Amino acid sequence: MLRGEPPVQKGFWEERLVRPIDIYDRFRNEGPWNTGYEDPFEQTFLEILTDEEEKGIFGSVSHETATMVERNLKPLILGEDPFAVEKIWDIMYRSQVHGRKGETMMAISAIDCALWDLIGKAKREPVVRLLGGPVQEKVPTYASMLGFSLKPKDVAKRCQEYADKGYSAMKWFFRHGPGSGLSGMQKNIELVKTIRDAVGYDVDLMLDCWMSWSIPYTLKMAKRLERFEPAWLEEPLMPDDIDGYAELSKRLEIPIAGGEHEYTRWGARELLKRKAVDILQMDVTWAGGITEMRKICALASSEGVSLIPHAGWTEPAQSITFSQPKNDCPMIEYLVKWAAIQQAFNKEKLIPQAGLFYAPTKIGLGFEPQTENP
């Protein structure tokens, strides 16, 4: 566990995003969460050691994930060859039949990513080279504006700020869903109009519904949003409504993105087989780690669907993206506010340069934690 000063002093949420639970009045009327970080700020990291004193690291992990690793997974992999990532992955997956999605899969992903970091350090190579890359020299990022204020003046100012930094794409998060009625729908549209008025149409605009809409509501909203030319509508429905996603993808002109809350190659296969999404967004650190994400990339490529990973932790997503051709993985998400938290203990912060990431050159996943307070 590492401790230091809070990376976000005034709290993360200036405004929150719409949530699936907001169909209930009790929750819909709640304001932004109180998420000022305590001092000292703490994060827990997963570390894997070998008999030869090679070390791999992944972080940070939740208390639930750490407990899952310690109690359920660590006993299974002690004594295994750390280079045998396929065997280790299979052992973990087969042992956790009741954890094929959710926190258990996140724990498996954490171990897998740490193993790849260990192998990279043992071989003195960036993980992307172990994956056959880099295939691309540079990849554009999109600024993911989670947690920022949605007041029109604040939105316009923030949009201009990140356009001036060189970002050619950004994603904003809706605050309202079906339960907010017509007034909420109008506020959603006002948000998008404010963004377009601020940066025009030279900046690609992604819009995240965070699993909180319905099919009828999405169809109505899409008609009103088409004139603003969104690059995609993200996660309009709950993850298990694959038929609903397929219907929206078939009926709408706006591309549908999803898969952030799906797991493993088998989850990806269902989305792809049923043509449920136009852009696949599975997270390397949730969906099964780097070992599994290679298989997911192959599946998406075979169906001609671009994979733009959700990037809760940037370094693994970067390694995967740069190991794939541009048509398959054309862009990287950069969660602007979350990155400050995720990288709180990085010796060097991973920040896009003029809206671009360049192929990784540091050994392993490139993460080096500070040993002293940041």
Sign of the alpha-carbon dihedral angle for 15, 16, 17, 22: negative
Distance of CA 266 to the CA centre of its chain: 19
CB 259 within 8 A of CB 308: no
The rounded distance, in Å, linking the Cα atoms of 60 and 343 is 9
Sign of the alpha-carbon dihedral angle for 310, 313, 317, 318: positive
In this prediction, residue 28 carries a pLDDT of: 95
Q: Does residue 60 lie in a domain region?
A: no
Q: Does residue 114 lie in a domain region?
A: no
Q: Does residue 16 lie in a domain region?
A: no
In this prediction, residue 362 carries a pLDDT of: 96
Instruction: Tell the residue number behind the tokens 């136009």, with chain if given.
Output: 278
Helices within the chain (DSSP H only): 25-28, 63-68, 74-77, 85-95, 103-123, 127-130, 152-164, 181-199, 215-225, 242-251, 264-273, 284-287, 289-302, 314-322, 336-342
pTM of the model: 0.95
- By C-alpha distance, which of 356, 267, 359 is closest to 320? 359
B/e letters for 60-81, b = 16+ CB within 10 Å, e = fewer, are bbeeebbebbeebbeeebeeee
Task: For residue 63, indicate whether it is catalytic.
Answer: no
In this prediction, residue 42 carries a pLDDT of: 87
The rounded distance, in Å, linking the Cα atoms of 133 and 355 is 21
Q: Does residue 193 lie in a domain region?
A: yes
Domain that holds residue 322: 129-358
Q: Does residue 22 lie in a domain region?
A: no
In this prediction, residue 374 carries a pLDDT of: 45
* Cα-trace Rg, the chain: 20
Q: Does residue 84 lie in a domain region?
A: no
The rounded distance, in Å, linking the Cα atoms of 70 and 113 is 16
pLDDT tens string, the chain, 374 residues long: the values are 777 777 776 678 999 999 999 999 999 999 987 666 666 788 899 999 999 999 999 988 999 999 999 999 999 999 999 999 999 999 999 999 999 999 999 999 999 999 999 999 999 999 999 999 999 999 999 999 999 999 999 999 999 999 999 999 999 999 999 999 999 999 999 999 999 999 999 999 999 999 999 999 999 999 999 999 999 999 999 999 999 999 999 999 999 999 999 999 999 999 999 999 999 999 999 999 999 999 999 999 999 999 999 998 999 999 999 999 999 999 999 999 999 888 988 888 999 999 999 999 999 999 888 765 44
In this prediction, residue 9 carries a pLDDT of: 63
Looking at the structure of the chain, the number of domains it has is 1
Instruction: Please report, for the domain that includes residue 280, its CATH number.
Output: 3.20.20.120
